[in-house]
Amino acid sequence: MPELPEVETVRRIAAPLVIGRSITGITMNPTFTCVLEAPDGMDPVSSLIGRTIMDVERRGKYLLFLLGADLWMVIHLRMTGRLLVVDHQASPVRFEHLGIALDNGKDLRFGDQRKFGRVRVTLPEEVEALSFRLGPEPFDRQVTGRWLHGALERRSGKIKAVLLDQHLLAGLGNIYVDEALFRARIHPERIARNLSLEEATRLIGAIRHVLRSAIANQGTTFSSFENPYGEAGSNADFLRVYGKGRGALSCPRCGTALEHLVVGGRGTTFCPRCQLLPGQDTSSASPA
């Protein structure tokens, strides 16, 4: 499922290909026209035609296309959504639901096997409200160890579940939360408000590290994620724990067998030696 690094990868590649281009036509797969949404009373197709893409931004896991002072197009890839930039003559991409033709002979094509993703044409007020509901971006200047420590003080849930909540920080999902907790040596079932300032500081550093590396590797692809050129990201090769808890694989740091848990309804992998719960024997903890 695309998280911040995958959505940012799409943004970085798509932006120079589409900014400044005007929308000349829309094609929809008649079996799934509800992929394209708009507020009540607004026709999404006629609202898009003739508009120029002024900018492509990202907020959390959302792609935001600025289409003038009074209109946005918000794309949420959700589980298996893909946004590709192809020649107008190119055949439909896999599971294509929507094509947006541009005045440079290119199309933005939206494909989605699971059909949870959406393309929503909307007003600035709605984009502001969306942004207001989300927590800050992990790379925002205000996001420091002290800030995270303060934000966690009000949270009685388990740290893994709290980090998945987009109201705290925007853009994290299952992959990068597991990777960041491993890097910060914090057990996924720790109660969020019990983290020390030192742990919160280590955690925000770990979150930034795993996100930055994943962006550099153009995201993680297990099955469906592709960048706008239709290419897979290479970050799966660099994951240290995510998805490895069921195969008796060992911790890359200490060699202990990784374990699998369900936390907040999500499969979770951690090292029982590097990521101890308070009260567990620390004498066996790895010094590495």
Q: Which residues bind Zn ion (CB under 5 A)?
A: 251, 253-254, 256, 271, 273-274
Q: How many residues does the chain have?
A: 288
- Minimal CB distance residue for Zn ion: 251
Identity of the residue, 47 or 275, whose beta carbon is nearer to Zn ion in the bound complex: 275
CB 126 within 8 A of CB 38: no
Q: How far is the CB of 262 from Zn ion (least distance, A)?
A: 20
94, 115, 240, 266: the active-site residue:
266
Collect all residues with Cβ–Cβ distance below 8 Å to 38 and sequence separation of at least 6: 44, 47, 120, 121, 122
- Closest by Cα among 207, 174, 182 to 276: 182
Shortest spacing between CB 263 and Zn ion, in angstroms: 18
State the catalytic residue, choosing from 3, 6, 96, 179: 3
Q: Toward Zn ion, which CB reaches closer, 151 or 258? A: 258
Minimum CB separation of residue 286 from Zn ion in Å reads 6
Q: Say whether 3 is catalytic.
A: yes
Catalytic site residue 61? Answer: yes
Conformational region of residue 256, where left means phi above 0, alpha means psi within -120 to 50, and beta covers everything else: beta
82/185 with CB nearer Zn ion? 185
Q: Active site includes 120?
A: no
Q: Smaller CB distance to Zn ion: residue 56 or 274?
A: 274
Rounded to whole angstroms, how far apart are CA atoms 107 and 87? Answer: 6
Told to judge if 2 belongs to the known catalytic residues of this protein, a careful annotator would answer yes
- State which residue, 162 or 251, has the beta carbon closest to Zn ion: 251
> Under DSSP, is residue 74 helix (H, G, I), strand (E, B) or coil?
strand
* Alpha-carbon gap, residue 22 to 123, rounded angstroms: 18
Q: Which is nearer to Zn ion, 170 or 251 (CB)?
A: 251
Q: In whole angstroms, give the CA distance from residue 178 to residue 77.
A: 21
Q: How far is CA 188 from CA 122, 174, 222, in A?
A: 37, 11, 22
Alpha carbon of residue 205 to chain centroid: 18
At its nearest, how many Å lie between Zn ion and the CB of residue 226? 33
In angstroms, give the least distance from the CB of 6 to Zn ion: 27
Q: How far apart are CA 35 and CA 115, in angstroms?
A: 8
Q: Which of 21, 61, 82, 160 is catalytic?
A: 61
CB of 3 to Zn ion, least distance (A): 23
> Tokens at residue 135, please?
């927590």
Q: What are phi and psi of 179, to 5 degrees?
A: -65, -40
Contact 272, 256 (CB under 8 A): yes
Q: Which residues are catalytic?
A: 2-3, 61, 266
